[in-house]
A = this chain, B = another copy of it.
Amino acid sequence: MKVINDVKFLIVGLGLIGGSYAQALTDLGYEVGAITRSQSSIDYAVENGLIAHGTTEVTEDYVSKFDVVVFALYPKVFIDWIDKYQSYFKSGALITDVTGVKSPIVYKIQDMLRDDVEFVGAHPMAGKEVYGVQNADKSIFAQANYIVTPTEKNTESAIETTKQIGRLLGFKTVCELSPEKHDEMIGFLSQLTHCIAVSLMDCKESKNLVDYTGDSFRDLTRIAKINDAMWSELFLLNKDELISQMDLFLSKFKELRDALENEDTEKMREMMRISTERRKYFDKK
């Protein structure tokens, strides 16, 4: 299957990410439909030209129209949806998702799924600190990475189509990782950083510090504004990996703390030299 102009896309879950997918694909000329819980999201998306049509009811008649179905739901809701409604998919449909944790989702969905449809997991590493289809904005993909997480069950052509969707959406980079490697990477780069920001922000009732606050603290805590329902679910799904990343960070932080307590200047300076050296890798080109 190729992504070509007569392919029809169904977005299930019309929030910030689902809405941004819809906008990008509609703007490219594809027919995009949506299923979501609230009628007002459908109305908004139709009125603003993000989708051609949509419904709050899951029917075989509607679902079976579509060649590609993108799930932009919370993980558990996604699994329940597949369990209940997978018989409605058109035979040969490609199923993909936007879930931020892969191993516990990808294998489960693939195990559950009918043999005549194929699921390829994907993680668009894009977002905003606001929610809902009203904030949909395809430009969030331009500087972001789109990671496809195939398994042995996937066919080359479905993997290629899933990557092609990432390119169509306008992602800066499209790459491939195993579900396990993805979860390790995301545990460190994204989940751990959110844990740090939340913990730091929780330290003090800090309203009185606003006037003294510079960019360092603001940058470090930007992601402390967090959707608690979604992120707690993602943390739990990646529990073992995230605990091991948190423990690694704890041990390094304690090393620095103990060096300070022991007035071990050379140890502190060594840790700072390492961080200075490594941070250079991440300078934007």
Contact = CB atoms under 8 A, between A and B. Distances in A.
A210 B272 contact: no
A234 B203 CA distance: 22
Interface string A241-285: 011011111101111110011010100111111111011111010
Interface in A221-239: 221-229, 231-233, 235-236, 239
Nearest to A222: B219
Nearest to A252: B199
Given A189-B212, A209-B188, A250-B254, A279 B201 contact: yes
A121 to B, nearest CB: 15
B173 A218 contact: no
Contacts of A194: 216
Nearest to A235: B260
A53 to B, nearest CB: 33
Nearest to A265: B232
A276 B193 contact: no
A220 interface: yes
Nearest to A223: B216
Interface majority SS (helix, strand, loop, mixed), chain A: helix
A265 B228 CA distance: 9
Interface string A8-24: 00000000000000000
A282 B210 contact: yes
Given A202-B271, A263-B236, A276-B228, A253 B195 contact: yes
A218 B143 CA distance: 13
Each complex incorporates copies of this chain amounting to 2
A243 B256 contact: no
A145 to B, nearest CB: 6
B204 A188 contact: yes
A190 B217 contact: yes
Nearest to A177: B212
Contacts of A210: 281-282
A128 to B, nearest CB: 11
Interface in A111-157: 125-126, 143-145, 147
Contacts of A236: 260, 263, 265
Given A189-B209, A246-B253, A276-B224, A232 B201 contact: no
